[in-house]
Amino acid sequence: MTTPSSSSLPASRLITELQSFGVRLADPKAGAPSRRGGAGPSDHKAMTVDGRTVMVPVHTAGAFASPYVAEPPGADGASLVRRDGMAMGRVTFPRQPRFYALQTMDGIPYSKIAVLHGADVLATTVLQTCIRYQSRTKTCQFCSIGQSLAAGRTIARKTPEQLAEVARAAVLLDGVRHMVMTTGTPPTPDRGAAILCESAAAVKAAVDLPIQGQCEPPDDDRWFARLRDAGIDTLGMHLEAVTPEVRARIMPGKADVPLERYYSAFKAAVPVFGRGQVSTYILAGLGDSHEAILEMADRLIGMGVYPFVVPFVPVSGTPLEDHPAPPPAFMHDLLSAVGGMLKRAGMRASDSKAGCGKCGACSALSLFED
Ligand code: SF4
C-alpha cells in the first residue's frame, strides 16, 4: 500500500485532531469494516496517516458533527481529508483482512472470534461477558462489551481451539505480527488470568505470535508467572482513570479494586515480564487533570510500567455517549509531556513485544517519544 506523506498538518497533530473530533466519511465503505460496540476501539475505523495506522471515531455523535470530512478514495487509494473545505492531509484505509472470509468447521465466521486492530494486530475478547457489566450501577460507563454480543457480531466465549485456528490464519494470510487478548472479568478470583493462560497456550502451540494479555489484577501474584509460562509476552492491567473520584464516578464496580492493588500488582508483574512489558491504559478526558495523569505516569514509569494514555472516545449506546471527547489541544499537550517522560526514562512503545502500546493505533503517544 502506498501512503501519501503530504499532510498539511504534521502527522502527530492530524492524528490528535482526527482522534478527538472523529471524521465524517464521504464513502463509508472505504477500507476494512468499522466496528461498533465491544471492548477496545469501538465505533472506529482504521486509517493510515503518514505510514501510521490509527483508529479514528466514525460512528460517534462527535464524529457525525466533526469538521473533518474524508473524501472518497481516489485511484491511488488515498483519501483527502478536509476541514471546512481546506485540505488538511491524506489518509489511506487498510484493506479488509483475508482471514475475515473464513469460518470454523461449525460455521462461526473468524471475524466473530478475533478482529484486526490497527495495521497488524489480531485482537480478541476471550470472554465477552463481565461481572461489572451486569448492573447499570456497576458497569464501567465507557464500556460497550455487551453491545457487540447482543448484536450477534461476536460470540460470548472463544475457545482456545478457535483462537489458535484464527491466529494461525491471520498470521499466514494477513501477516499479523502480534495479538491482544483481553477479557471481561469473570466471577472468579483470578479475574480472567486462567482463561488467558489456556488461550495463550493454544495460540502459541499453533503459531509463533507475541501476545499481550489484558485483565484486572488477579487475586494472587503467582498468576503472573503462570501467564508468562503459558505464552503471554506482555501484560496490560488497565487503570482507565487515575484519581479516586473519577474512578468511582466512571467505573463504580472496578473502583472497588483499590489503586494500591494495582500498584502492588505492577510491582510483582514487572520482574516477571520485564521493564516496559507491563502497561496500563489511561483514558484522558474523563475528568482527571493533566497534573493527575502526569503524576501517575511518572509513578508508573518509575515502576517500569508503560502508561498508554489515550483520548477517551464516547461510544454510542454507553452511558457516556454524550460525554465530550477531550479537545485536541488537551491531548497534544498531555501526550507531549508523557512522551517526554518516556523519552527521558528510555522507555519506548516500539520496545514492547506485543500489545496496545506497540500497536499505538488508539493514541498518538509514541509519536511524542521520538
Ligand atoms: S491500541 Fe490496542 S485497542 Fe487500540 S487498536 Fe491497537 S491493539 Fe486495539
Please identify, among 38, 58, 92, the residue that sits at the C-terminal boundary of a domain: 92
CA 81 – CA 104 distance, rounded (Å): 39
Please identify, among 71, 92, 113, the residue that sits at the C-terminal boundary of a domain: 92
Span 202-219, mean pLDDT? 98
Span 317-330, mean pLDDT? 91
Q: Examine residue 4 and state whether it is found in any structural domain, yes or no.
A: no
Q: Examine residue 325 and state whether it is found in any structural domain, yes or no.
A: yes
Claim to verify: residue 79 and residue 148 sit in the same structural domain: no
* Ligand 1 center–CA 232 separation, angstroms: 17
pLDDT band (50, 70, 90) for residue 4: very low
Q: Examine residue 3 and state whether it is found in any structural domain, yes or no.
A: no
Claim to verify: residue 76 and residue 223 sit in the same structural domain: no
For the segment 82-134, what is each residue's pLDDT rounded down to a tens digit? 998 899 999 999 989 999 999 998 899 999 999 999 999 999 999 999 998 87
* Ligand 1 center–CA 85 separation, angstroms: 31
Q: Examine residue 258 and state whether it is found in any structural domain, yes or no.
A: yes
Range with the poorest average pLDDT among 56-70, 98-112, 260-274, 279-293: 56-70
CB of residue 123 inside a 6 A radius of ligand 1: yes
Q: Examine residue 48 and state whether it is found in any structural domain, yes or no.
A: yes
Claim to verify: residue 332 and residue 240 sit in the same structural domain: yes
Q: Examine residue 53 and state whether it is found in any structural domain, yes or no.
A: yes
The pLDDT assigned to 1 comes to: 38
What atom of ligand 1 comes closest to residue 357's alpha carbon? 1
What atom of ligand 1 comes closest to residue 40's alpha carbon? 3
The pLDDT assigned to 2 comes to: 38
The pLDDT assigned to 41 comes to: 59
* Ligand 1 center–CA 352 separation, angstroms: 13
Q: And the C-alpha cell for 322?
A: 454524550
Claim to verify: residue 146 and residue 69 sit in the same structural domain: no
Claim to verify: residue 118 and residue 84 sit in the same structural domain: no
Span 138-144, mean pLDDT? 90
Span 276-304, mean pLDDT? 98
Span 336-341, mean pLDDT? 98
pLDDT band (50, 70, 90) for residue 31: confident
Please identify, among 92, 124, 157, the residue that sits at the C-terminal boundary of a domain: 92
Claim to verify: residue 199 and residue 219 sit in the same structural domain: yes
Range with the poorest average pLDDT among 142-146, 211-215, 251-255, 283-287: 142-146
Percentages helix, strand, coil for the chain (3-state, rounded to 5) are 35, 20, 45
Q: Where are the alpha helices (DSSP H) in the chain?
A: 11-21, 61-64, 145-150, 160-174, 193-206, 222-230, 244-250, 259-273, 290-303, 328-345, 356-359
CB of residue 121 inside a 6 A radius of ligand 1: yes
Range with the poorest average pLDDT among 149-163, 253-267, 314-328: 314-328
Span 337-354, mean pLDDT? 97
Claim to verify: residue 57 and residue 134 sit in the same structural domain: no
pTM of the predicted model over 0.85:
yes
Claim to verify: residue 195 and residue 312 sit in the same structural domain: yes
The pLDDT assigned to 272 comes to: 98
pLDDT greater than 70 at residue 140: yes
pLDDT band (50, 70, 90) for residue 38: low
Q: How many domains does the chain have?
A: 2
What atom of ligand 1 comes closest to residue 363's alpha carbon? 1
CB of residue 311 inside a 6 A radius of ligand 1: no
Q: Examine residue 135 and state whether it is found in any structural domain, yes or no.
A: yes
The pLDDT assigned to 7 comes to: 47
More confident residue, 29 or 202: 202
Q: And the C-alpha cell for 278?
A: 507491563
Residue (of 117, 153, 4) closest to 70 by Cα position: 4
Claim to verify: residue 84 and residue 142 sit in the same structural domain: no
As a whole number, the mean pLDDT across the chain is: 92
The pLDDT assigned to 29 comes to: 75
CA 269 – CA 276 distance, rounded (Å): 11
Backbone CA torsion sign across 310, 314, 316, 317: positive
Show the domain range for 166: 98-367
CA atoms within 13 A on the CB side of 214: 24
